[in-house]
A and B are shown apart, each in its own frame.
Chain A
Amino acid sequence: MGALDGFKVTFKQIALPRVTTPYPAEKRPKPDRHHGRHVLNRYEDGMEKCIGCELCAGVCPARCIYVRGADNPADAPVSPGERYGFVYEINYLRCIHCDLCVEACPTEAITESKLFEFSFTNRQDAIYTKAELVVSDDGLPKQLPWEDWREGDDERTSAWVRATSPSGSAEFEGRVQWSGELGYGTRASEPDQATRDEETGDAWFVFTENRGGE
Chain B
Amino acid sequence: MHLLLAAASTATGGDPLFAKGIGFAVFLIVAVKVAVTFVVLLVATMLMVWFERKVISDMQNRVGPDRAGRWGILQSLADGTKLFFKEDLLPERADRRLFRLAPYLSMVPAFLSFAIVPVGGIVSVFGHHTRLQLADPPVGILWLLAMSSIAVYGVMLAGWSSGSKYPLLGAVRASAQMISYEATLGISVVAVVLVTGSLATSAIVAQQSSLATINLIRLGVVPFVLFWIAATAELNRPPFDLVEAEQELVGGFNTEYSSVRFALFYLAEFMNTITMSAIIVTLFLGGPNGPHFGLAPTSFLAAWLLPVVYFVAKVMVFLFCYVWFRATLPRFRYDQLMDLGWKVLIPLSLGWLLVIASILAANTTAEKIRNLAIAFVALIVAGAMLLRSLQLGKATVSEEDLHS
**Cβ contacts under 8 Å, A10 to chain B:** 59, 324, 327-328
- Residue from A7, A18, A19, A21 in contact with B324 in the complex, judged by beta carbons closer than 8 Å: A7
A85 to B324, CA, bound (A): 63
Tally of A interface residues using CB under 8 Å: 13
Distance of A11 Cα from B327 Cα, bound (Å) = 9
B61 touching A13, Cβ below 8 Å: yes
Q: Is the CB of A19 within 8 A of B61?
A: yes
Once the chains are docked, how many angstroms separate the CA of A20 from the CA of B60?
Answer: 10
Q: Is the CB of B66 within 8 A of A22?
A: yes
Contact yes or no, A14 B63, CB < 8 A = no
**Docked pose: A16 CA to B58 CA in angstroms:** 9
B328 near A9 with CB under 8 A, answer yes
Determine if A20 and B328 form an interchain contact, defined as CB atoms under 8 angstroms apart. Answer: no
Asked whether any CB of chain A lies closer than 8 Å to the CB of B296, the reply is: no
Chain B residues with CB under 8 A of A14 = 55, 58-59
Q: Total A-B residue pairs with C-beta atoms closer than 8 Å?
A: 30
A11 with B63: CB separation less than 8 A: no
Q: Interface centre among A10, A14, A21, by most B CB within 10 Å? A: A10
Q: Which residues of B contact A16 (CB under 8 A)?
A: 61
Q: Is B62 an interface residue (CB 8 A)?
A: yes
- Kindly list chain B residues whose C-beta atoms are within 8 Å of the C-beta of A19: 61-62
| Minimum CB–CB distance for B68 against chain A, Å | 13
What is the bound-complex CA distance between A7 and B89, given in angstroms?
40
Beta-carbon contacts of A15-27 to B below 8 Å, as 1s and 0s? 0101111100000
Q: Is A2 an interface residue when CB atoms closer than 8 A count as contact?
A: no
Chain A proximity of B318: nearest CB distance (Å): 15
Contacts of A20 in B (CB 8 A): 61-63
Take A6-B329, A22-B66 as given contacts and tell me if A11 and B324 are in contact as well, using a CB distance cutoff of 8 Å. yes
Contact B63 A13 (CB under 8 A): no
Q: State A32–B244 Cα separation when bound (angstroms).
A: 46
Give Cα distance in the complex from A9 to B327, angstroms. 10
Least Cβ–Cβ distance between A37 and chain B, in angstroms:
28
Interface string of B47-85 (1 = CB under 8 A from A): 000000001001111110010000000000000000000
Contacts of A22 in B (CB 8 A): 63, 66
A172, chain B: closest CB distance, angstroms:
40
Given known A-B contacts A6-B328, A6-B329, A11 and B59 have beta carbons under 8 A apart: yes
List, in ascending order, chain B residues with CB within 8 A of A21's CB: 63
- Which residues of A (1-49) have their CB < 8 Å from a CB of B? 6-7, 9-11, 13-14, 16, 18-22
Question: Chain B residue with minimal CB distance to A9?
Answer: B328
Give A3's nearest chain B residue, CB to CB: B329
Question: CA separation between A49 and B59, bound complex, in Å?
Answer: 53
Instruction: State in angstroms the CA–CA spacing of A16 and B62 once bound together.
Output: 10
Known A-B contacts A13-B58, A14-B58; A7 and B328 likewise in contact (beta carbons under 8 Å): yes
Q: Which A residues are in CB contact (< 8 Å) with B324? A: 7, 10-11
The residue on B at minimum CB distance from A12 is B59
Which of chain B's residues 15-44 have a Cβ closer than 8 Å to chain A?
none
Chain B residue contacts of A11, Cβ below 8 A = 59, 324
Chain B 188-216 near chain A by CB (<8 Å), digits 1 or 0:
00000000000000000000000000000
A11-B58 Cα distance, complex, nearest whole Å:
9
Point out the residues of chain A lying under 8 angstroms from B58, CB to CB. Answer: 13-14
B329 cross-chain contacts in A, Cβ below 8 A? 6
Give Cα distance in the complex from A20 to B66, angstroms.
Answer: 12
Q: Which residues of A contact B59 (CB under 8 A)?
A: 10-11, 13-14
Complex: A204 Cα to B217 Cα, angstroms: 53
Encoded as 1 (CB less than 8 Å from any B CB) or 0, chain A from 83 to 99 comes to 00000000000000000
Q: Counting chain A CB atoms within 10 Å of each CB, which of B55, B61, B324 scores highest?
A: B61
Instruction: From B55, B59, B62, B66, name the one whose CB has the most chain A CB atoms within 10 angstroms.
Output: B59
Report how far A6 CA is from B62 CA in the complex, Å.
18
Render B324-358 as a binary contact track against A, CB cut-off 8 A, 1 for contact: 10011100000000000000000000000000000
B61 contacts across to A, CB distance below 8 A = 13, 16, 18-20
Chain A nearest CB: distance from B75 CB in Å?
Answer: 14
Q: Which residues of B contact A6 (CB under 8 A)?
A: 328-329
What residue of chain B has the Cβ atom nearest to residue A211's Cβ?
B61
| Structural contact, B60 and A13, CB atoms closer than 8 A | yes
**Chain B positions within 8 Å of A13 at CB level:** 58-61
- The answer for the CA separation of A11 and B55 in the assembled complex, in Å, is 10
Binary contact readout A111-151 vs B (1 if CB under 8 angstroms, 0 otherwise): 00000000000000000000000000000000000000000
Quick one: closest A residue to B327, CB to CB? Answer: A10
* Cβ–Cβ contact B327 & A18, under 8 A: no
Known: A10-B328, A11-B59. 13 other contacts (CB 8 A): A6-B329, A7-B328, A9-B328, A10-B59, A10-B324, A10-B327, A13-B59, A13-B61, A14-B55, A19-B61, A21-B63, A22-B63, A22-B66
